[in-house]
Amino acid sequence: MNRLGVPESEHKELLAYLKNNYRYENGGIVNRKTGRRRRGSKKSSGYLGFNFYFKGKGCNSYIHRIVWALCYNELPTTTIDHINGDRLDNRIENLREVSQTDNNLNSLLPWRPNKDTNVAGVDRCNGSYQTKIHGRQAYFHDPYQAFYWAIACGKRYRASIASATLVNSE
């Protein structure tokens, strides 16, 4: 079974059904019969959902998974990652198939400044400042230096405020 709830024996049929009824166009899915773009509905996860009927059974998936199937002629077997972090940007050049671990490393963190240091991801600890880098605590004398090294080692934040704060502090 895949994430659509369809057994593996029916994957080729499902892929043929999708190819016959839908086509990829500019980051979205277009119904071949009507020529209208399927908008999808925004789910609580932030992704666009896609509902369709296959063999009289209602199926639902995310649009980015269907886009992947239409473009690469295979159902995705692992996680589909949005490279730029925008869950609504389903252009094929923005999608890649990765493991769940790699997808977690690519996630963008919300900008939430710490109330003591006013810097995201940096805490005050015994007169110094600490942040997590690759799962381990790292200690610095300056909160902005801690923030800089956290970003340099892969932490990325959603808001552009993060980079503005870092630049203005130097």
pLDDT digits (tens, 9 = 90+) for 50-63: 888 888 888 888 99
Distance CA 45, CA 47 (A): 6
Backbone angles phi and psi of 19, in degrees to 5: -65, -35
pLDDT recorded at residue 164: 45
Alpha helices by DSSP H, the chain: 11-21, 63-72, 100-105, 143-152, 161-169
pTM score, whole prediction: 0.66
pLDDT recorded at residue 86: 83
Domain with CATH 3.90.75.20 in the chain: 8-105
DSSP string, 49-72: EEEEEETTEEEEEEHHHHHHHHHH
Q: Do 80 and 97 form a contact (C-beta atoms < 8 A)?
A: yes
Give the architecture-level CATH label for domain 8-105: Alpha-Beta Complex (3.90)
- Could you report the per-residue pLDDT of 19-76, keeping only the tens digit for each? 999 999 988 899 999 999 988 888 888 889 888 888 888 888 899 999 999 999 998 8
Share of the chain above pLDDT 70, in %: 83
